[in-house]
Structure 1
Amino acid sequence: MAERVTAKSVLRKISQRHLECQICNDRFVEPKMLECSHSYCLKCLQQLAETNPTSQTLICPVCRSETLLVEKGVFELRNDFKSTLMLDEIEQHETELRNQQENQPPNQEYVSKCSKHTDKDVIMYCDSCKQLICTTCIAKDHSMHPATELSEVLDNCKKKANEIFAEVEQHYNNFKIAMQDIELFHKTLDSMFAATKAKISKKADNEIAKKVAKIREEENKLMLELVQTFKDKSTKGETAKATNDKEMTKAQNVKVVVTQLMDKANFSENLLLIEKVLQDLKEYTKIQPKQVTQEQAYIDFEDDQESFGRLRINAKQKPEGAASAEARMPICKPKTKLTQKLWTLKAEITTYRPKSSKQIKTVCALSVDSYCNSDIVCVIKSNTLIKISADSIGKSKVIPKELSIKGLTDPIRVAVNKNDELIVVGDTAVKIFNRKYKRLHQFALLVGQPFDLPSCIAVDDNSLIAVGYHQIQIDLHRQDGSFFRTLLAPGIGHYLTIHEQHLIYIKTLAKKKLVSIDYDGSVVFSVDISQSWWSRGLCCDKDGSIYVAVWDGESSSGDIHQYSPDGEYIGCITKGCTYPHGITFTPAGDLVVATQESVQIYCHG
């Protein structure tokens, strides 16, 4: 039997078909619209986004279309105003139906009683007092008041209601027009966004094409020059070879002629000719062979930051760009501060996700280094390791996770060699892991008096590992962990770096100094530094410039200062690093600072 159609059943069907979330199967609550025009509750979309926190897109549960999330995620999605208005309208009609049902009179005819004279029926409406009255009321209190019959009052009410309904309908149409305008606004915005995005991409493609064309033009010029140089050098070698072949053949021929003349019976008749030929042969011994040296085969390409580069055709030739580069290089006078604009904060990572808990925690970084692809690995205060992917830097939705490495407990210091092997200092040993975190080697540390736990670690370009013991010495170990050498380093502090086989550290015993020694223990330089600073990090860039993170011991703010490769002070490059604990450079040239509250990444320029 078909269901009886009522206003209530119609409202219920409209709600089920158009106003229910396909995730929670309930009516929309703060509906948000995806790019595919399907709508869902705000809370449901937030829960859906949390199932894959690393993704920047949402997949529609109905049509599987992708929607890109911007900075604020789900909150930035468009509100579904149309569904919201329909919900309000449905709920209003449902309320009216409930009220109507509650106030519906019984089937039998019902006549209202007077509120004052309860045994009397109301028969009129007093226009002055705005109330229903009975015959007693009329006689006693309302005899002089104008009154209207109830049927007429009802007609007037219906008329007034119809007028208001017309106004409401007009107002509702205004809302519909506004919604249409909003829909048109979003379509226009989407169209403008797509068109602008295409223009930016086209401009970028054009600029890239121009640069590629220019580089290819420079390449072709150098290739032509290289081919010509090769031909000239090759011709020189071939000419020398042909000349020497000719002289060698001539000598052999003369020897044959002399031998033949001396063997003949008429030797006496040929004696004068023989002597002349022998004299010519004697002169031949004075001829030097044509020589070409290995240096003359030298051809090389000289890179240049200012241009594409140039050919070098002589190994002893000074690079053509060296003099001009020296002339262009700014002179850095001691104690000349560089402007803070040279380094700007690119990104800051303040939280991480522990492996044993879903609760996000604050990063307190103690030691930091970088892989070849600029991924960052960091020791944090809870004696755990986290990895920050280079691709995730600057993306607010991406939270680094704690690394789970078998056989590694309580890391203290960390370093990465050129083979992307992770070197971790623990309580009793230094352990070396490959990029898949499989342990390759390990070696024991010096423990017990007078040795404390290692205060610092560094690794050079040949994967030689340097372990510093506070105030005492530096031990050098090969890549496989085998011991190589001990170097005395009295006063060595908590930070150590290496550049071109020079060990650089901060001496904290007595007067504070920036010290550099070679692998034989000879002092390269030892310069005084500010005695009011507490050193909180040390590293070198690829050119050998030295960077020292410092703290004044009073405020929470730290600074980073720069020194030349020979230890000459240049100046402060950035301020405002909260309690720094370590610094390093990524291969991409970014400066990474481990602080008590975050990991900060600075870019140059």
Structure 2
Amino acid sequence: DNQLRMAEAAEATAKTMLGEISQGHLECPICFCRYKDPKILDCLHTFCLNCLDGMLSKQQPSIGKITCPVCRKETPVPDAGLPGLLDCFFLSSLVDEINQQERSLETQQQATTSPTCDECVEGLEAVSRCLDCVENLCQQCKTAHERSKRTQKHRVTPVEHPEQKEVPSADLSQTHSPKCQKHADQKMQFYCETCKMLMCGICATIDHRSADHQLSEIADAVRSYFEEVKYVLQKFQKSKEEFKANEESVEHARHRLKVMVTRACSEIQAKEEEEIAKIKNKSRLLRDKVIKIGKKRDEEFEKVHTNNKKKMERAEEIEAAVTDLMKQADDFELLNLKPKVMHNLEFQKDLQFDRVKHGESFIGVKCQDVVLDKDLGEILHKEKWKLKTEFGKQGDGDGEFNWARSVCCFSNGDIAVDDSNKNQVSVFTSTGQHKTTFDLNALYGISVTSDLLLANCEDHVKVFDINCQLHSKFNLSKPDAGDEPYIHTSDATVDNEHLAVVFNGQRMVTSLYNLDGSLIRDIASASICQEDIAISSKGRLIFTQYDSSILQCVEMTGKEVFAVRTSLEDKEATPAGVCCDDAGDIYVTFHCGPHTGSSEVHHYDSQGVYVDCVANKLLWPFGITFSPSGELVVADQNSVKIFHRI
């Protein structure tokens, strides 16, 4: 039973697979049935001959072309009509093979159930079949069948088990050899490259014997054909690689555009908040001024009120005293006090109240249109850079340089600069104000990750915190036995996972380290003499090769992405420092020519394609980095220059 079920499951699986193959590859796109007499059009799409004939009958006969229903490409109809189109022998053979396989499966499925007797009610297994009665017979019924006078002369044969029959399988490896249409008994033996057609030996001798016809045997023609196709497909493979690179460039451009749109919107939002803060501040100052004026005027009004109130209170006191006296004193006393009473009543002559300045009871405001009718800003359609600020000069004092080589930025905008001649690192504010300086012996490069400053010193890397206090230290790989102990290393750089990438100039090896100093691995295909290293947003390593004037990009695995020459327009341009923006574009400092003052900063896209010159007429720049606000910071030997987009 288990074997039977397994066999049934295998047969079902085979049927399903054959059905999928048929539906996916062996069905005509017009009738959706398996190909019958398949013909190939010029576009290499295949259809049944009858289907093409039906299509052609619906078109205008005078056109003489048939349009592919899949790609709409036209194919000329041969003089012999549609039957003259090329046959697809492979599909025909494959359809025959699938049909035979399905018949074989059907036969096997029928064989899994033994036939039963059609005579007896027990339904015993049939061992014979009567060809005259067309019935299956078990052993007992067969014996009775042979003994019966009515049926003893019937033709009884053993029951055939179809699974014992072998179904021949089509051999797809055999090459179909068509016959010549002119000479039916002749096989096609030659191919005329001039006429683009097969032919037999007779046709070759009679119709294609002139020097204009380029004949070759079938095997040679096929071999040449394969070579030609192989050559074209190899070129197409290069086109696919070019397409892939172009697609990556398009994807990068779209990503960079998205980054730039986000950044621009952030800058607009920041400007909005800045302007709103200014307006709020001016509003507060104006309100304070109004309140101050109102308070001063109210004090004047209160003073007038107080003075007038005092005068009235004094007058009311005199009035009350005189009134009481006139009611209570007798005539003699009143007459005696008359002079005093009349004297006190003279207050009425001088009783004058202070008048308030009513005009000062009004205070209003006439607000100005701060934004007016102008836009908040101007949209920049082309990237342009301009020098924003420069700090530092040649010298030995604080904030002065003998050779500003490497530069990097902390998240708060502070700028760290190493002076390779003075063996010092100086830290400045984002506006160039000197904060601190500390010594480092034999310094070869600095970088910042997660607000940790990595200083590459001979055979070790020191790690400092944002306050320039020593945080940790780890050693680099030692040189091989017999090598000099001195190891020259380039700038240490980090990626998003805070891993240090260090170039060992003694061993000519680029290595990936954890920040605790443990070596992760050496990076293959990166054993080149490097001037500087940067890591793009995609985690790729960008190298500058000063001596060979090459800008190179490799994956972390060491697989090369590109390597481009950096000399432009026949002008010498040797790359020095390198950095990447948030979108992955590359910015490189160049020494152009032997003289100082002619150096430049160039912009490349993520595929190493030159975009533009960002800055020129620099002294002798090396280190380059981006500030948190997106400004370009360049260590230019005796100073640090900060460029911003305009």
Question: Which is greater in Rg?
Answer: 2
Q: Shared fold by TM > 0.5? A: no
TM value normalised by structure 1: 0.40
